[in-house]
Amino acid sequence: MSAIHYTKDHEYIRVDGGTGTVGITDYAQKALGDVVFVELPEAGAAFKKGAQAAVVESVKAASEVYAPVSGEITAVNGALENAPGSVNEDSAGAGWFFKIKLADAGELAGLMDEAAYQAFLKTLA
């Protein structure tokens, strides 16, 4: 079973075993508007928690996507090159950005669960 964790920068990480699938939340894609370009990291690249790992550009703005945990990129969603709108259509599914092998699963403790993230969003209104 996978567990989903969230950052205050509106990234999600869906963890299954020792690997996490990372993308931006539905809240983030709505705030950005129509996504027109996604710059993904290279497979094999290593990132520290909080480091910029990708960039998403929309008709409104460009925004950094940060690594929610430290680890090594094991896969990227190459389909986003030709279909960046997948981020808007299905941010938690087909619109994922990259998969990361967790260097330290303990870092997940610093992230929010679904209930905490929903409570956080209410503070932004």
DSSP code for 31: H
Give the CATH number for residue 18. Answer: 2.40.50.100
Angle subtended at Cα 70 by Cα 92 and Cα 120, rounded to the nearest 5 degrees: 50
- Residues spanned by the domain of 61: 3-118
Q: Give the span between the Cα atoms of 109 and 5, in whole angstroms.
A: 9
Domain presence at residue 124:
no
* Count of domains observed in the chain: 1
pTM of the model: 0.96
Task: List, for residues 103-125, the tens digit of each pLDDT value.
Answer: 999 999 999 999 999 999 999 97
Q: Give the span between the Cα atoms of 7 and 15, in whole angstroms.
A: 14
Q: Give the span between the Cα atoms of 92 and 14, in whole angstroms.
A: 9
Contact between 68 and 48 (Cβ < 8 Å)? no
Task: List, for residues 46-76, the tens digit of each pLDDT value.
Answer: 999 999 999 999 999 999 999 999 999 999 9
